[in-house]
Amino acid sequence: MEYTNLGRTGLSVSRLCLGTMNFGPQTSEPDSFAIMDRALEHGINFFDTANVYGWKLGEGATEQIIGRWLAQGGDRRDKVVLGTKVYGRMGDLPNQQGLSARHIISACDASLRRLQTDWIDLYQMHHISRATPWEEIWQAMETLVAQGKVRYVGSSNFAGWHLAAGQESANRRHFLGLVSEQCIYNLITRHVELEVIPAAQAYGIGIIPWSPLHGGLLSGALRKLAEGTAGRTRSGRASEQLDTHRTAVEEYEKMCAELDEDPANVALAWLLSRPGVTAPIIGPRTMEQLDRTIRAADLPLGGETLAALDRLFPPIGAGGAAPEAWAW
């Protein structure tokens, strides 16, 4: 496994990030434990979760699973760069959601209890809050960093101008500010190439793509449907957009077959080749999925393959950053 710095920081993280959203709803606790242990064996040291994962209001079920795994000891906590998120609704009261200083601090304390740890390596804002001024957000984050509860702060689902506004506000306070942005990015969804990634690169903010397989659409969806082995492909983002992208996906799966590579690994390898990308988030439901995915970290794609992928899944406009993508 290769490692890289998280954004402009000195923190070393693996080029693949273990996503845990399936832990609890899709993957049992014993299997989740085994997947996390195997991830460490593969050299994956970057784990991502969120306080809302588990999808039972206020329970933080996935964080609890990770906490019980960490509590087993064996230097697990020292081996892991652990990220979680704040923003989502954690109760029925009006102040149990969002990015107010009150909620940021109380949600952090609750996550620490569930995770059974003293610190969070990467505390990510799960979404922008247009109702909260940056001064309030940074005051809360500075407090958590000063208390040793948080090491770094990241964002998720921010627009490019949000990254700029947030980082400029942090700079005025002489605070490190944002070190990562977690955004949807894959061969099919490339709009972040216009402004999010250029802004992130300008500010030294690492990109952590979520849904790198577009809900399973890039994981060999048509073959799995034909074989009757499709899981997520039958619902959600993949199912909704399969007809729209069917021709491109058919050609994509043919190309991967000619390369003798798993379509999922080709999609991940493409992301690893993209400028600004730190680590795509993989979300295995089973040990077998995790073991197959590791191949992506060591899969170089040649120039002809990259060009073919651009033809199948073209970037927006002329490609690249705005405004050149659509203007002279």
Sorted by where each begins, the domain ranges of the chain are 3-312
* CA pair distance 326, 316, nearest whole angstrom: 8
> With 70 as the cut, is the pLDDT of residue 79 above it?
yes
Q: What is the mean pLDDT of residues 239-253?
A: 90
Please give the pLDDT value at position 144: 98
53 included as an active-site residue: yes
% of the chain with per-residue pLDDT over 90: 93
Write down the residue that tokens 């709803």 correspond to. 25
- Answer for the pair 280, 192: CB distance below 8 angstroms, yes or no: no
Taking the CB of residue 297, how many other CB atoms lie within 10 A of it? 21
Q: What is the mean pLDDT of residues 95-103?
A: 98
Bond preceding residue 315 cis, omega within 30 of 0: no
Phi (first) and psi of residue 209, to 5 degrees: -70, 130
Please give the pLDDT value at position 229: 72
Helix ranges, the chain (H): 29-41, 61-70, 76-79, 101-115, 134-146, 160-172, 196-203, 221-227, 236-259, 263-272, 287-293, 303-312
Q: What is the mean pLDDT of residues 290-307?
A: 96
pLDDT band at 267 (very low <50, low <70, confident <90, very high): very high
User: Where is 290: in which H helix or E strand?
Assistant: helix 287-293
> With 60 as the cut, is the pLDDT of residue 59 above it?
yes
- Which of 299, 117, 91, 276 lies closest to 200, judged by CA? 276
Please state the pTM of the whole predicted model. 0.94
Please give the pLDDT value at position 316: 95
Q: What is the mean pLDDT of residues 42-67?
A: 97
Please give the pLDDT value at position 239: 72
> With 70 as the cut, is the pLDDT of residue 292 above it?
yes
At 196, list the tokens.
């999010």
Taking the CB of residue 326, how many other CB atoms lie within 10 A of it? 10
CB within 8 Å of 68: residues ≥ 6 apart = 29, 33, 116
> With 60 as the cut, is the pLDDT of residue 312 above it?
yes
Query: Residue 301 corresponds to which amino acid?
Result: L
CB within 8 Å of 287: residues ≥ 6 apart = 31, 34, 35, 38
CA dihedral in degrees (293, 296, 299, 301; nearest 10)? 130
- Strand 178-184 to strand 206-210: parallel, antiparallel, or no bridges (unpaired)? parallel
* Exposure of 69 in the CB half-sphere (CA atoms within 13 A): 29
Mean pLDDT across the chain, nearest whole number? 95
Please give the pLDDT value at position 9: 98
* CA pair distance 39, 138, nearest whole angstrom: 33
Higher pLDDT, 253 or 225: 253
% of the chain with per-residue pLDDT over 70: 98
Kindly tell me the burial class for residue 192, based on how many C-beta atoms sit within 10 Å of its own C-beta (0-12, 13-18, 19 or more): buried
pLDDT band at 168 (very low <50, low <70, confident <90, very high): very high
- Enter the DSSP assignment of 314: P
Please give the pLDDT value at position 236: 61
Please give the pLDDT value at position 290: 97
303-312 vs 263-272: helix crossing angle, rounded to 10: 100
pLDDT tens for 190-236 read 999 999 999 999 999 999 999 999 999 999 999 888 888 766 655 56
> With 70 as the cut, is the pLDDT of residue 237 above it?
no
* CA pair distance 311, 177, nearest whole angstrom: 37
Q: Which of 53, 123, 152, 185 is catalytic?
A: 53
Phi (first) and psi of residue 272, to 5 degrees: -65, -20
- Length of the chain, in residues: 328
Q: What is the mean pLDDT of residues 60-72?
A: 98
CATH number 3.75.10.10 is the correct assignment for the domain at 3-312 = no
Q: What is the mean pLDDT of residues 131-145?
A: 98
> With 60 as the cut, is the pLDDT of residue 28 above it?
yes
